[in-house]
């Protein structure tokens, strides 16, 4: 990748902001559900997409300088159009390495790009793996993971907020996928594509559904073990999820009793034992649901 000059990042951000202004005032309330027609307009805006990609190039260069992420992780940041996954009012900030809000109460955000890659690197996420994500949001993390995992991998992601689940399914191209007679389980799925891995989206309490997914996974020893990413802060280590990890399975989650005292925890099952590591201070939104 060509290194940008000192003026290029500012020009790229200015261009993105100018094009983002096309969508100013499209909604009377920034916290109302994003209409399907507006998402479609943004998705088909070729000039906006190119401006977003150019504006993310300096971000990729900065991440490469600060971290030792694999090249295909950085490629995912460049190629996945983050502008589609934020609120329309935040299009101009979509290339920034900062979390962006998704609801009025602050319960949900699109995390900063580096936060996803940090979690994926601790998981050792690689092509062909299976990722279980707790906290879909609008699907940006799942979109990054699809690129990283490639067409032989799979992402299952769980979201407690029905409105976010619906928007994530739309943005990821997932279609309703009824699961047997379990009418209470909202599920959407999309097969592998040029964007990467297949994806299954579930709507409900993250821990409860994750335990079910992991329990089924333990009965299929021929499958790769799940790698589990929690995208919101837990008040205590998720013992029930840890116990469900198959050998070789890994879980990464922010854990802390309050926002200012959270740590990124990595747990791996190796030869039957659970190995625990702490990887520094972080700040994530709090868990909703069972807790």
At 4, is the pLDDT very low, low, confident or very high (cuts 50, 70, 90)? Answer: very low
- For 204-254, write each residue's pLDDT tens digit: 999 999 999 999 877 677 789 999 999 999 999 999 999 999 999 999 999
Those residues whose C-beta lies under 8 Å from the C-beta of residue 218, and which sit 6 or more positions away, are: 244, 246
At 127, is the pLDDT very low, low, confident or very high (cuts 50, 70, 90)? Answer: very high
199's tokens = 């994806």
- DSSP assignment letter at 139: S
Number of Cβ within 10 Å of residue 15's Cβ equals 17
Helix axes 8-20, 46-66, angle to 10 degrees: 140
* Identity of the highest mean pLDDT range in 133-137, 214-218, 284-288: 133-137
Active site residue 111: yes
At 194, is the pLDDT very low, low, confident or very high (cuts 50, 70, 90)? Answer: confident
Helix axes 113-123, 140-149, angle to 10 degrees: 40
Distance (Å, rounded) from C-alpha 252 to C-alpha 278?
A: 10
φ/ψ (deg, to 5) at 184: -80, -10
3-state class of 227 per DSSP? Answer: strand
Whether the Cβ atoms of residue 96 and residue 52 lie closer than 8 Å to each other: no
Catalytic residue among 6, 15, 111, 198: 111
With 70 as the cut, is the pLDDT of residue 7 above it?
no
- For 263-283, write each residue's pLDDT tens digit: 999 999 999 999 999 999 999
Burial string for 94-109 (b: 16+ CB within 10 Å, else e) reads bbbeebbbbeeeebbb
State the SS3 of 25-82.
Answer: CCCCCCCCCCCHHHHHHHHCCHHHHHHHHHHHHHHHHHHHHHCCCCHHHHHHHHHCCH
Tell me the Cα Rg of the chain: 19
246's tokens = 């198959």
Where do runs of H (alpha helix) occur along the chain? 8-20, 36-43, 46-66, 71-79, 113-123, 140-149, 162-171, 206-218, 239-244
Average pLDDT over residues 3-28: 81
Number of Cβ within 10 Å of residue 247's Cβ equals 13
Q: How far is CA 113 from CA 2, 60, 83, 129, 285, in A?
A: 21, 10, 12, 20, 15
- For 157-180, write each residue's pLDDT tens digit: 999 999 999 999 999 999 987 764
Q: What is the pLDDT of residue 186?
A: 75
Closest to 201 in 3D by CA, of 190, 187, 214, 213: 187
φ/ψ (deg, to 5) at 228: -110, 125
Burial string for 193-207 (b: 16+ CB within 10 Å, else e) reads eeebbbbbbbbbbbb
| Strand pairing category for 198-203 and 273-282 | unpaired
Whether the Cβ atoms of residue 196 and residue 155 lie closer than 8 Å to each other: no
Average pLDDT over residues 8-13: 82
For the chain, what is the mean pLDDT? Answer: 91
């Amino acid at each position: 990748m060509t290194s940008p000059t000192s003026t290029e990042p500012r020009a790229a951000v200015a261009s993105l902001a100018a094009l983002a202004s096309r969508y100013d005032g499209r909604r009377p309330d920034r916290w109302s559900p994003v209409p399907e027609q507006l998402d479609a307009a943004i998705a088909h805006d070729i000039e906006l997409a190119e401006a977003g990609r150019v504006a993310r190039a300096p971000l990729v260069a900065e991440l490469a300088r600060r971290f030792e992420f694999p090249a295909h992780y950085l490629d995912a940041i460049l190629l996945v159009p983050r502008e589609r996954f934020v609120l329309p009012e935040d299009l101009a900030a979509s290339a920034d390495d900062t979390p962006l809000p998704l609801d009025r109460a602050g319960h949900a955000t699109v995390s900063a790009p580096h936060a996803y890659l940090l979690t994926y690197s601790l998981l050792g996420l690689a092509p062909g793996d299976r990722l279980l994500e707790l906290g879909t949001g609008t699907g940006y993390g799942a979109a990054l993971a699809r690129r990283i995992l490639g067409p032989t991998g799979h992402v299952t992601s769980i979201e407690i907020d029905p409105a976010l689940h619906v928007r994530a399914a739309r943005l990821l191209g997932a279609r309703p996928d009824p699961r047997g007679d379990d009418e209470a389980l909202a599920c959407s799925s999309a097969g592998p594509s040029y964007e990467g891995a297949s994806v299954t989206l579930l709507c409900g309490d993250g821990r409860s559904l994750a335990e079910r997914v992991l329990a089924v996974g333990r009965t299929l020893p021929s499958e790769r073990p799940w790698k589990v990413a929690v995208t919101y802060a837990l008040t205590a280590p998720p013992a029930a999820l840890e116990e469900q990890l198959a050998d070789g399975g890994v879980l990464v989650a922010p854990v802390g009793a309050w926002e200012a005292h959270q740590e990124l925890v990595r747990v791996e099952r190796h030869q039957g034992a659970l190995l625990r590591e702490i990887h520094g201070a972080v700040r994530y939104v709090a868990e909703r649901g069972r807790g």
